[in-house]
Amino acid sequence: MIQTFKLKHGKDFSTQLRKAHQVGNVALKTHTLSTADVKQFGLPSYIAQGVLRKYSRNKKLKQVRSVKLTINNPAGFRFESGVVSVKCLSLALPWYYRNFETLNQIELDSQYAYVSVSFPDKPQIVPQSWIGVDRNTTGHVAVAANPSNGKAWVFGVRIPHVHQKYLALRRELQKKGHYKVVKKIKNRESRIVRDLTHKISRSIVELAKSQNAGIKLEWLKGIRQSSRWRSSKLHSWSPYRLEQQLLYKSKMEGIPITYVEARNTSKDCSRCGCVGIRTGNLFECQNCRRVGNAHVNGAFNIAQRRSISIPTFKTQRWRAP
């Protein structure tokens, strides 16, 4: 699988970035792939080649805004003794990650280097049990449960509080007309939630690994079009983001992930299978008299349901934190 690592390089590449912007403009207008057509800008050929490939093939882009120094030729960089070196830029990046197969590409902006690396996929384990993960929009963002030992775990209690805090803060700032500060606050909220979601997905994968278990998720296609989702104040949290992070982290550890039908996962009783009554976060079964948390009940149901086949989509590239 492919991962992209973000590293701070601490060098001034303003001159090279300006030249790369000029090369990008030429690539967008002429669609040339030849470095001879942009040699007048004085950009190293390895970088010019990467920028040309990126912009000359893009038929939808109308204007070049922010250009990175792109090196996708394997001859333009190398790994040696714990350092990734880019000779044409006299750049050496400390590299602490091991067991990778190849360095695919390096992109640099004014502050960071984005290093794309291929890692070998671990063979999938044969799970001894399954952990069901119920994703929510209120109270907490995920509940995991394993029917084999009868245990459940709650994740992401902090995320709804973060959303509520910054929602109230943005409203006050908008009333005062501080729109630039509102944008900064929204970006800060997004970074906090992204970091917390990474930690949640890592915890769930580690939990599955420790119990030699697979992971089952609900197939939530079209959830954002549902009336319940649109009415939620916390619609800015994305179950899809947690799903994608679980997918690539589990793949690295060889943990299988499957999907189940989402219908009535929190209404069916996980003990007797009868349809119960759900009131908010409370679930009650009239048949076996079980009373408990609806999300915990849903997580047990997800773990116990039969997996379904889903459409396959193009694999996306995800950046590690």
Q: According to the model, what pLDDT value does residue 317 have?
A: 41
Kindly tell me if the per-residue pLDDT of 80 is higher than 80. yes
Confidence at 311, pLDDT banded by 50, 70, 90: low
Kindly tell me if the per-residue pLDDT of 202 is higher than 90. yes
Q: Say which range, 53-57, 139-143, 187-191, has the weakest mean pLDDT.
A: 139-143
Q: According to the model, what pLDDT value does residue 60 have?
A: 84
Q: Say which range, 9-13, 87-91, 137-141, 177-181, has the weakest mean pLDDT.
A: 137-141
3-state secondary structure of 164: helix
- Tell me what the pLDDT averaged over the chain comes to: 86
Confidence at 228, pLDDT banded by 50, 70, 90: low
Q: According to the model, what pLDDT value does residue 215 have?
A: 96
Q: Number of helices and strands (H, E) in the chain? A: 7, 16
User: 210: part of which helix (H) or strand (E)?
Assistant: helix 179-210
Cα–Cα distance, 239 to 216 (Å, whole number):
14
Mean of pLDDT values over 33-39: 92
In contact, 280 and 273? CB cutoff 8 Å? no
3-state secondary structure of 193: helix
CA dihedral 182, 186, 192, 198 (to 10 degrees): -170
Kindly tell me if the per-residue pLDDT of 315 is higher than 80. no
Kindly tell me if the per-residue pLDDT of 314 is higher than 60. no
Q: According to the model, what pLDDT value does residue 122 have?
A: 82
DSSP annotation of 138 reads S
Q: Positive or negative CA dihedral for 110, 317, 28, 77?
A: positive
Q: Which two tokens stand for residue 83?
A: 């350092």
Mean of pLDDT values over 123-130: 93
pLDDT 10s digits, 275-299: 999 888 889 998 898 898 899 999 9
Write b or e for each residue in 15-44: b if 16 or more Cβ atoms lie within 10 A of its Cβ, otherwise e: ebbebbbbbbebbbeeeeeebeebeeeebb
Kindly tell me if the per-residue pLDDT of 13 is higher than 80. yes
Q: Which carries the bigger pLDDT value, residue 209 or residue 100? A: 209
Confidence at 312, pLDDT banded by 50, 70, 90: low
- Predicted structure pTM score: 0.74
Confidence at 229, pLDDT banded by 50, 70, 90: very low
Domains of the chain, residue spans: 2-118, 129-319
3-state secondary structure of 157: coil
